[in-house]
Structure 1
Amino acid sequence: MLVPFLIMLREGIEAALIVGIIASYLKQTGRGQWMPAVWIGVFLAAAIALLVGGGLELMSAEFPQKQQELFEGLVGLVAVVILSSMVFWMRKVARSIKHSLHESMDRALANSNHQVIALVAMVFFAVAREGLETVFFLLAVFQQSEGAGAPLGALLGLILAVAVGFGIYTGSMRLNLSLFFRWTGLFILVVAAGILANSVQALHEAGIWNSLQDVVFDVSATLPMDGPVGSVLAGMFGYQDAPTISTLGAYLLYLVFALVMFFLPASAPVGRKPAPATHS
C-alpha cells in the first residue's frame, strides 16, 4: 500500500505542478480565458492513461499462466525503465521546468489560427507523460500484490497529490520540492530494483530466462515472503526469501549503478546557470 501511495503522490504532484505552472502563467499574462483548453488537455491525458491501463489489465486477464508470467515480466521491465528515466529526468530539469513550460505556452499561443489546439496538445502531452508512467508502474505493482491494499494506496496518493497541488497553486502550502523529489526519487530507485528482480523471476517462470538459477541463500524458515514482515518487504522492495543468482544479481547491479548515478552532481541545462533551490 505504501509503495503505490508514494509513487502516486509523487507523480500526482509532478502533474499538479505542471498544470499549476501553466495556469499561473496564463493568469499572470492576462490569458486566463485559455484555461478551458488546459482542462481539456488534462482530462484527455487522464482518459488515455485510464484506457491504456484498463486495456492492458483486461488483456492480461485472458492470458494462460505462462503468458501471464511473461506479461508480468515485460511490464515490470518497462516500469523499471520508466521509473528510472522519470527520476533522472526530473533531477535534470527540475530547475528549468518552469521556464521551459512558459516557452512552450508562448509558442502554442503565438499562432492565431490554431491556439486552442496547440495549447490542448501541449498540456495533453505534458500530463500524459506522467499518467502513462504511473500506469506501467501500477500495473507492475498490482500484478505483484494481492488484495485491495495497492489500489487503495494509489487512490489515497492521488487524492493527497491533488490537495497538495491545489495548496501550492493557491499559495496556502509551501513545500521544499527539491528535497521532496530527491527523497522520493531515492525511494523509487530502491523500489525499481525490487521490480526488476521480480521481473527476472517472472521471465524464468515463463520459460524465457533459465540461466543462473542457483539459490544464493534461503531464509524462508526465518523470514518467509508470506509472513507479516516478509510480505511487507516483498511488496515494498521486492524481497525474496530464496533469491537466485539472476534475481539477486539483477537487484544489486541495478541498485548500485542507479545510486551511483543518482548521487553524482546534476549537470545544469546547457546555456543556463544553476539556480538556487526554491520553496514552492
Structure 2
Amino acid sequence: MLAPFLIMLREGLEAALIVGIIASYLRQTGRSAFLPAVWVGVLLAVALSLFAGSAVLLLGQEFPQKTQELFEAIVGLVAVAVLSWMVFWMRGAARSMRAQLHESVDAAFAGTGQGAAWALVGMAFFAVAREGLESVFFLLAIFQQSTGMAVPLGALAGLGVAVLLGLGIYWGGLRLNLQKFFRWTGLLILLVAAGLLSGVVRNLHEAGLWNLWQERVYDWSGILPNASVAGTVLSGLLGYHESPTWGELAVWLLYLLPALGLFFWPEASRRAPAAQEHS
C-alpha cells in the first residue's frame, strides 16, 4: 500500500503543482476568464490516462501464461525506466519550472484569444497526461506483483492527498519545502524501482527467458513472510521477498547502488564539467 501511495502522491503533486502554477499566474495577471481552458486540458488528460490503463490491462489478460509473464516484465521495465527518469529530471527541473511555465503562458497570449485558450488546454493536457501515463505503468507493474485491495486503496489515498496539497498550495495557505519533499520521495521511489526490477527477473524466469542464478539466497517464509504486515511494508518500499534468488538480489543491487550514487552526488559537481565545456 505504501508504494502506490507514495508514487501517486508524488505524481499527483507534480501535476497539481504545474496546473496550480498556470492557474495562479492566470489569476495574478487578470486572465481568470481562461481558467476553464486549463480544467478542460486536465479532464482530457485524466480521461486519456484511464483509457490507456484500461487498454493495457485488458491487453495483458488476453495473453497465454508465458506471454503474460513477458508482458508483465516489459511493463515493469518501462515503469523502472520512467521512475528513474522522473526522479533525476525533477532534481534539475524544479528550480526553473515556475519561470518556464510563466514564459509559456505569456507566449500563449502573444496571439489571438482563441489561440491562447487552445494553448492553455494543451499545456494542462500534456502536463497532467505525462504524469498520468507514468502512473499507469507504475501502478500496473505494482498490481502485477500484488493482490488484494491495498494497492488501489493506497493509490487513491496518495492521489487524494496530492489533490488536497495542490489546492492548499494554489490558494496560498499552504507552504511546503518542495525541495526536501521531492528529494526524500525520490530516494524512496528509487528503492521502489529496485524492487520492481527484481520482480522483472521473476517474470522473465516464469516466461522461460531467464534461468541464471536461481538458487535461493535465503528462505524467510517462516520468519518474515511477504503476507505479513512487516513483509508487506518492506516489499512495497524495498522490494523485499521472503525467498529471493541470487539473480534477483544481483539485479536489485546493480540498479540501486549506482542510482543512489548518482542521486547523492552533489549537483554542483555534475554541473561543473558542463559549465567548463561551454566556456
One fold, TM greater than 0.5? yes
Counterpart for residue 254 of structure 2: 253
**Is 1:12 matched up with 2:29?**
no
- 1:111 is displaced (CA, Å) by 2.2
Counterpart for residue 33 of structure 2: 33
Which sits farther off after the overlay, 223-232 or 124-133?
223-232
1:184-243, CA deviations, whole angstroms, 9 ceiling, x for partnerless residues? 110000010000000111111111222232333333343333444333322332212222
SS in 2 for 1:243: coil
**Is 1:62 matched up with 2:38?**
no
Q: For residues 19 and 229 of structure 2, what CA distance do their matches in structure 1 show?
A: 40
**Is 1:238 matched up with 2:239?**
yes
Which sits farther off after the overlay, 165-174 or 225-234?
225-234
Matches within 5 A, 1:127-206: 127-206=128-207
1:129-173, CA deviations, whole angstroms, 9 ceiling, x for partnerless residues? 111111110111111111111101111111111111111111221
The amino acid that maps onto 1:7 is I
Structure 1: stretches of 5+ with no match in the other structure? 271-280
SS in 1 for 2:39: helix
Q: For residues 37 and 228 of structure 1, what CA distance do their matches in structure 2 show?
A: 45
- 1:62 is displaced (CA, Å) by 2.1
The amino acid that maps onto 1:225 is N
The amino acid that maps onto 1:174 is R
**Is 1:81 matched up with 2:81?**
yes
- 1:101 is displaced (CA, Å) by 0.8
Q: For residues 59 and 67 of structure 1, what CA distance do their matches in structure 2 show?
A: 11
Counterpart for residue 102 of structure 2: 102
Which sits farther off after the overlay, 242-251 or 130-139?
242-251
Counterpart for residue 276 of structure 2: none
CA contact (8 A) 2:16 2:166 kept: yes
- 1:103 is displaced (CA, Å) by 1.4
- 1:8 is displaced (CA, Å) by 0.9
CA contact (8 A) 1:66 1:206 kept: yes
Q: For residues 33 and 145 of structure 2, what CA distance do their matches in structure 1 show?
A: 45
How many residue pairs get matched?
271
CA contact (8 A) 1:16 1:162 kept: yes
Q: Could you say if the C-alpha distance between residues 94 and 23 of structure 1 is closer, same or farther in structure 2, counting changes exceeding 3 Å?
A: same
The amino acid that maps onto 1:144 is Q
CA contact (8 A) 1:16 1:165 kept: yes
SS in 2 for 1:239: coil
**Percent of aligned pairs with the same amino acid:** 60
CA contact (8 A) 1:197 1:238 kept: yes
The amino acid that maps onto 2:200 is S
SS in 2 for 1:4: helix
Structure 2: stretches of 5+ with no match in the other structure? 273-279
CA contact (8 A) 1:92 1:269 kept: no
SS in 1 for 2:175: coil
- 1:115 is displaced (CA, Å) by 2.1
SS in 2 for 1:114: helix
- 1:121 is displaced (CA, Å) by 1.2
Q: For residues 230 and 65 of structure 2, what CA distance do their matches in structure 1 show?
A: 28
- 1:57 is displaced (CA, Å) by 1.1
Q: For residues 238 and 164 of structure 1, what CA distance do their matches in structure 2 show?
A: 28
Q: For residues 218 and 224 of structure 2, what CA distance do their matches in structure 1 show?
A: 12
